[in-house]
Amino acid sequence: MAGTIGYHIVISGYGLWLPGDQRGSWSAKWDEELGLIEPHMLHPGDPVRMRMAEERMQRPPVRLNAAMTDAVVDTLAQCAAESEWSIVAAGIMPTHSHLLLTYTERPIDRTIKWMKDRLTKAVHERTSHTGPVWCKGKWRSFIFAEEIFDSTREYIEQHNVRRGMGPRPYAFVRWNWLP
């Protein structure tokens, strides 16, 4: 997308933020008056949709443990080292991960899929986990302005601070990058 300087990406652990979740969900919804509401709009909780989503789950929800987190951190470092883009901020929590990436010429959705595939493979190779690691899809936003880029970086760094890790706990993060 023209003018893009970066992306805020969120990937969630399998089964941890389902459609109908009380926190809201990023999925398409049918509204009686409006028709189909565009995907990627936050919708309020719906206990029926939540129950239906839970019933479709074939495996238990995934929370990253220490070994899984190590595999994710190491693989993100490899992905960044092999790419023309940089990771400017990263927050890797047991339930979800936030990434702030610089602009790439590659389609961002393909880039995210490539990363998720690599992360899943690493978790499978380095731990006893065999099922899905991440939910289908992803949440991503395009960033066009430096002030939004900086506030997104601060938002992600605050996730790390709240977990007692300091704002930039990962060596692969290029925190001083300017768009």
Q: Could you give all domains of the chain from N- to C-terminal order, each with its CATH number?
A: 6-14+61-162 (3.30.70.1290), 25-56 (no CATH)
How many residues would you count in the chain? 179
Task: Summarize pLDDT for 86-143 with one digit per residue, the tens.
Answer: 999 999 999 899 999 999 999 999 999 999 999 999 999 999 999 999 988 778 889 9
pTM of the model: 0.81
Q: Alpha helices of the chain — where are they, by DSSP H?
A: 47-56, 66-81, 108-126, 146-162
The DSSP bridge partners found for residue 139 are 10
Helices (H) and strands (E) in the chain, counts: 4, 8
How do residues 33-79 score in pLDDT, each as one tens digit?
A: 444 444 445 556 677 776 777 777 788 888 999 999 999 999 999 99
